[in-house]
Amino acid sequence: MTRFRSLAVTGWRFVASATVLLLSLTASAYGQEAAASPENSSTGWIFRWIIFAIVFAGIVRFFAQSAPALRARAQEIGEKIAEGTRAREAAEKQRREVQTKLAGIDAEVSRLRAEAKKSMEAETVRLRALARREAEIIERAAQSEIAAAQRAASLELKSLAARLAVERAQAVLAREITPEAQAFLLNSFVLELERGAN
């Protein structure tokens, strides 16, 4: 862009200096032919053609010098247009992909909901089965503890009954057995032991 401006400034300087030179030459020639009509004189026509040639040469030189810059600028603009076209096509492609995804999103959401529902139902069944197994284990453990407690209570009850029976028997024996009966029982026991030893 700056190269184009510098070429334009150079071209205009050339045209301006040529015009000033031509006007100064024309003014001097005009001063000499002031008596005659300068427009229709041969010098006037010569200067007109010279001015035309200088201006035309300046214009041609300006365009000749600025043509590469103009071509480069046109090529740069063409590249930017092509780049913009590619970007627009990429954006269009992306927009179509997004629209395709959005069109399929309802089906995807319903599929995910169905999967989530199946998963929740399977998890519910699994948790119920796990809870049932845990309840059975707890029930078996409780039954075992109850049975153990019943056995312990039964043994304790038997032990208590035996102790009470012994205490009661002692009380009854203490009332009913006299010292003579005790001596008789002791002797009988000793005799039984002797018979068992032989």
Per-residue pLDDT for 16 more than 50?
Answer: yes
Question: How do residues 60-104 score in pLDDT, each as one tens digit?
Answer: 888 888 778 778 888 899 899 999 899 999 999 998 888 887 777
Percent of residues, the chain, with pLDDT higher than 70: 79
For residues 56 and 2, the model is more confident at 56
If one counts every other C-beta atom within 10 angstroms of the C-beta of residue 128, the result is 10
Q: What's the chain's average pLDDT? A: 80
Spatial separation of the C-alpha atoms in residues 198 and 194, rounded to whole Å? 6
pLDDT value for 97: 87
pTM over 0.95: no
pLDDT value for 35: 46
pLDDT value for 176: 75
pLDDT value for 186: 81
Q: Residue 197 region, left (φ>0) first, then alpha (ψ -120 to 50), else beta?
A: alpha
Question: How do residues 148-173 score in pLDDT, each as one tens digit?
Answer: 888 988 888 888 888 888 888 888 77
For residues 12 and 115, the model is more confident at 115
pLDDT value for 184: 82
Cα 161–chain centre separation: 78
Q: Which long-range contacts (CB under 8 A, 24 or more apart) does 66-74 make?
A: 66/4, 66/7, 66/8, 66/11, 69/3, 69/4, 69/7, 70/4, 72/3, 73/1, 73/4
Domain residue limits, the chain: 2-96
Of 25, 26, 18, nearest in space to 55 by CA = 18
180: amino acid identity, one letter: E
